[in-house]
Amino acid sequence: MPQTTRAVLIERHGPPDVLVEREVPLPDPGPEDVHLSVRAAGVNFADLLMRAGLYGTVPPRPYSAGFEVAGEIVRMGPGVKGWREGDRAVALLRYGGQARDVIVPSRQLFRFPDTLTPVQAAAIPVVYLTGWVALFEAARVRAGETALILGAAGGVGTAATQLAVSHALRVIGTAGSERKREFVVKELGAAACFDSQGDWEAEVRRFAGTRSVDVALDAVGGRASRSCRRLLAPLGRHVVFGLSAALPGERRSWLRAGVAWLRTPGTRPLSLIERNTGIFGIHLLHLFGREAVLRTALDEIYRRVASGKLKPVIDRTFPLTRDGAVQAHRYLHARRNLGKVVLEASD
C-alpha cells in the first residue's frame, strides 16, 4: 500500500490562514534517496514570501514550504552510501520541509552533533550557511574590517553577527526594538546596533567615521539597499540575499512589492568602477551542485556549535501542524522574533 504523510501546504496565496494540512502521498526513495522522519523544521522569511506568492522557483501548488529539517532516516535507496537506518541527519531542500516525512537525495544530508536536539540542529543550516557564504565566500572578509548587518537580531542576523565577531570583524547592526539592539550588542558582541526604523544610515556613518563600512549584508532591499551602497568604503562589498521590504505585512501587495523593487538600486558597471565597490547576490538554495562548499562550511559550523564557540539563538518553537505554522508565520510577520523560529513534531 502506498505510504502517505501529513504536510502543511500552500494551496493558494494569501495571509497565514490560507495554510492547510493534508495527508499527501509519500513516494518510495529513489536509488540515491533517503526517507527522513522529520522531528523539526526551520521557518524562514522566504517561507512567508512563498505563501504570499512573492517567491520565485517554486513548484506548482499545492506544495509545502520549508528549506531545512532534522530527523531520523527511516528508509534508504540501494545506492545510498555512508548512512544507516536510524541515523540522525539534517537535510537541505528547495521546498517541502514542513511535513512529517520527506524524501531527499542523500547528497543533501548532513550530520549534526549528538549533543544537539533536532530543534537545535534544524535551526542552524539556512541561517548559518547564509551568513557563512555571504561573509566568507562572497565578501571574503578579513579580520579588522567593519561589517554592517541589517536585521542583526533575526535568524540570519544573529548567525552572521556571531560568525563575523568570531572572525574579528567590527560589527554594526540594525534592529527594530531596544530589547533586540541590546541583545545584539551585549550578547552577540556587536560594536553597535541602531534602530532599523530610524535614521540608521546617519548613525552608522557617525559611528564608523572615515573607516566607513567594508561589507554590508542586506536582506531588506528598497531604500535600505541604497543606504548600504552609500556607506561602503572603497573596495567595500554589498551582499544582497533578500527583499523583505516587499512584504511589510501579512498580505501580498503588488504595489508595495513593486515600490520596494524600484527603490532597490540597480547595478551599473561604471558606477562600481567609480566608487571601487562590488555587489554580490546569493541564493543559498540555488547552490545545489556546490554541495562540497556547503558541506565543508556546515561541518565547521556544527563543530563550532558543539564546542560552544557559536550559540544558535532560538526564539520559539511551534507545533509542526497547520495551526503551528500559521502562528509561526504571524510571529515572523510581526517581526517579534529574536533569532530563529522552528516547528517541532510531536510524538
> Based on the domain organization, do 66 and 158 belong to the same domain?
no
At 250 the three-state DSSP class reads coil
Predicted pLDDT at 1: 53
Residues 228, 200: Cα–Cα separation, whole Å: 10
Shared domain for 97 and 133, answered yes or no, is no
Please report whether residue 290 resides in a domain: no
Given a contact cutoff of 8 angstroms between Cβ atoms, the answer to whether 11 and 247 are in contact is no
Q: How many domains, in total, are found in the chain?
A: 2
Domain containing 131 equals 127-285
What letter represents residue 257's amino acid? A
Q: Please report whether residue 307 resides in a domain.
A: no
Instruction: Judge whether 69 and 90 are in contact, CB under 8 Å.
Output: yes
Residues 115 and 131 in one domain: no
Question: Are 83 and 215 contained in the same domain?
Answer: no
Query: Whole-angstrom Cα distance, residue 132 to residue 302?
Result: 12
**Do 237 and 265 lie in a common domain?**
yes
Same domain, 232 and 328: no
- In tens digits, the chain (347 residues) has pLDDT values of 579 999 999 999 999 999 999 999 999 999 999 999 999 999 999 999 999 999 988 999 999 999 999 999 999 999 999 999 999 999 999 999 999 999 999 999 999 999 999 999 999 999 999 999 999 999 999 999 999 999 999 999 999 999 999 999 999 999 999 999 999 999 999 999 999 999 999 999 999 988 889 999 999 999 999 999 999 999 999 999 999 999 988 988 888 889 888 888 888 888 888 889 999 999 987 887 787 889 999 999 999 999 999 999 999 999 999 999 999 999 999 999 999 999 999 87
Distance separating alpha carbons of residues 71 and 88, to the nearest angstrom: 6
- In this structure, the answer to whether residues 143 and 75 fall within a common structural domain is no
Same domain, 171 and 317: no
Backbone phi and psi for residue 279, each to the nearest 5 degrees, phi listed first? -125, 135
Closest C-alpha among 171, 282, 155 to residue 216: 171
* Cβ 217 vs Cβ 151: under 8 Å: no
Are residue 66 and residue 195 in the same domain, yes or no?
A: no
For residues 46 and 94, membership in a common domain is answered with yes
Q: Is the same domain home to 119 and 232?
A: no
- Amino acid at position 111, single letter: R
Q: What is the CATH number of the domain that holds 318?
A: 3.90.180.10
Q: What pLDDT is attached to residue 68?
A: 97
Which CATH number belongs to the domain containing residue 258 in this structure?
Answer: 3.40.50.720
Domain contains 306: no
d(Cα 33, Cα 105) in Å, to the nearest integer? 4
Q: In sequence order, what are the residues at sequence separation of 6 or more whose Cβ sits closer than 8 angstroms to the Cβ of residue 272?
A: 278, 279
Sheet containing strand 170-175, strands side by side: 192-195, 170-175, 146-149, 213-218, 232-240, 278-281
For residue 341, what are the β-bridge partners? 43, 316
